[in-house]
Amino acid sequence: MTRKLNLVPFVSVEHMMKLVLAIGVERVLTDLAARIEEDFRGWSRFDKTPRLASHSVDGVIELMPTSDGRLYGFKYVNGHPKNRRDGRQTVAAFGVLADVGNGYPLLLSEMTLLTALRTAATSALAARYLARPGSRCMALVGNGAQSEFQALAFKALLGVTKLRLYDIDAAATRKCAGNLAGLGFDVACCASTGEAVDGADIVTTITADKHCATILTDAMIGPGVHLNAVGGDCPGKTELQRDILLRADIFVEFAPQTRVEGEIQQLDAAHPVVELWQVMTQQAPGRREARQITLFDSVGFAIEDFSALRYVREKLADNGLYHEIDLLADPDDPRDLLGMLRRAGTPPAAFHPLAPRFPQPSP
């Protein structure tokens, strides 16, 4: 490959949309779930660390790195519930995949859309191990940007076709129902969380407020339900009443991170939880019986982003949906960074206003 060392492929939002549309959303969700499952099964290969979060009054900015020893990936992601007021995304993200052998970035990509896709793919992947076989009906509580992706992932991976929507803002529910119309769902718009949850095999909560809310109360959850709790993902931000947690078998991505950020921040630090990779590698059971309540306490983990970036990079070769950006200095001699700078100056006098001349290096 004669690629210039200074250039790094960049996948813009526009290119990501084109990529997803070209492949098909449900196919992308299925592919992402397969990559995530592959990486979760290889759990021991990965450097794992809770994400590095910088909290402020209005939100959080996080860096989520991981590596399998061959590739290194990280995501930058924010979470600012107030953002919608001025037209911004609550969650925006971008990320980088790099070569561990030389530390050079291989890919810079938008990840706002990709995060929505990988979050939904992870939820549906977990549900394949945890929901009752034959689950077809899902309640979606919280109908924001993530909701339709959840619906599409559960359709693609589990065959969920009945949706029961609820949001405290009816406009969000209308938006969600509108976006899902014609895609093969039977959609019911509900007037309350209780109505949405009634009769659902799977209950997905994806609300955005940054505080401990009680979106689901204990009485709402009957036996056999799988809970996919996505919106409680920050210290001080939960969605489920604590009593539900005590009745459920709890599954998480990476316990040291979920203990701080997930629903289980409401529980004792010793409360038993199972990491998903343990289920995937048959080191722990998933769902054992029909009446069991299972909970996927999803907060989002770096390996999911790694898998998603890896997938996007695989697809780049086929489709050309990227720009190359001049991100890395590449002097002719790696040790001659100043020489590169100097040679970029025309006329040379511009290099330094005080230098009367700027001669070539002596031989």
How many residues sit close enough to its own copies to count as binding (CB under 8 A)? 107
Is 183 within 8 Å of 208 (Cβ atoms)? no
Centroid of chain to Cα 185: 24
89 contributes a contact to its own copies by CB under 8 A: yes
Taking the complex as a whole, how short is the minimal distance between the CB of residue 102 and its own copies, in angstroms?
5
Which residue has 């561990």 as its token pair? 100
Nearby residues of 228 by Cβ (< 8 Å), 6 or more positions away: 123, 126, 127, 150, 202, 203, 204, 205, 296, 298
Chain-centroid distance of CA 344 in Å reads 40
Residue type present at position 99: D
Question: Per rule CB under 8 A, is residue 9 in the interface with its own copies?
Answer: no
Examine residue 12 and tell whether it contacts its own copies (CB under 8 A).
yes
At its nearest, how many Å lie between its own copies and the CB of residue 184?
7
For its own copies, the binding residues in 290-329 under the rule CB under 8 A are 323, 325-329
Residue 98 binds its own copies, judged by CB under 8 A: yes
Query: Which residue from 40, 43, 94, 154 is in contact with its own copies, where contact means CB under 8 A?
Result: 94
Q: Least distance in Å: CB of 362 to its own copies?
A: 5
Stretch that binds its own copies, among 46-54, 198-206, 229-237, 312-320 (CB under 8 A): 46-54
Round to whole Å and give the CA distance between 265 and 270: 11
Q: Which of 31, 39, 167, 233 is catalytic?
A: 233
SS3 361: coil
- Choose which of 105, 194, 224, 235 interacts with its own copies (CB under 8 A): 105
By C-beta, is 272 or 363 nearer to its own copies?
Answer: 363
Name residues contacting its own copies, limited to 242-271 (CB under 8 A): none
Residue 219 CA to residue 224 CA, distance in Å, equals 14
Q: Does 44 bind its own copies (CB under 8 A)?
A: no
Please state, in angstroms and rounded to a whole number, the distance separating the CA atoms of residues 66 and 305.
Answer: 9
341, 349 Cβ separation under 8 angstroms: no
**Could you say whether residue 337 binds its own copies (CB under 8 A)?**
yes
Query: Number of helices and strands (H, E) in the chain?
Result: 11, 17
Any catalytic annotation for residue 31?
Answer: no
For position 170 contacting its own copies by CB under 8 A, the verdict is no
* One of 40, 43, 72, 322 touching its own copies (CB under 8 A): 72
Residue type at 348 in one-letter notation: P
- Alpha-carbon distance of 66 to 253, in angstroms, equals 14
Closer of 6 and 192 to its own copies (Cβ): 6
Binding region for its own copies (CB under 8 A) out of 139-147, 215-223, 247-255, 257-265: 139-147
Task: Return d(Cα 1, Cα 218) in angstroms, integer.
Answer: 59
Crossing angle of the two packed helices 13-23 and 302-319, in degrees rounded to 10: 80
Question: Does position 235 bind its own copies by CB under 8 A?
Answer: no
By CB under 8 A, the residues from 177 to 206 that bind its own copies are 177-179, 181-184
Given candidates 65, 232, 262, 300, which one binds its own copies under the rule CB under 8 A? 65
Name the CA dihedral angle for 127, 129, 135, 139, rounded to a multiple of 10 degrees: -20
Q: Using the rule CB under 8 A, is 83 a contact of its own copies?
A: yes
- What positions carry a catalytic annotation? 233
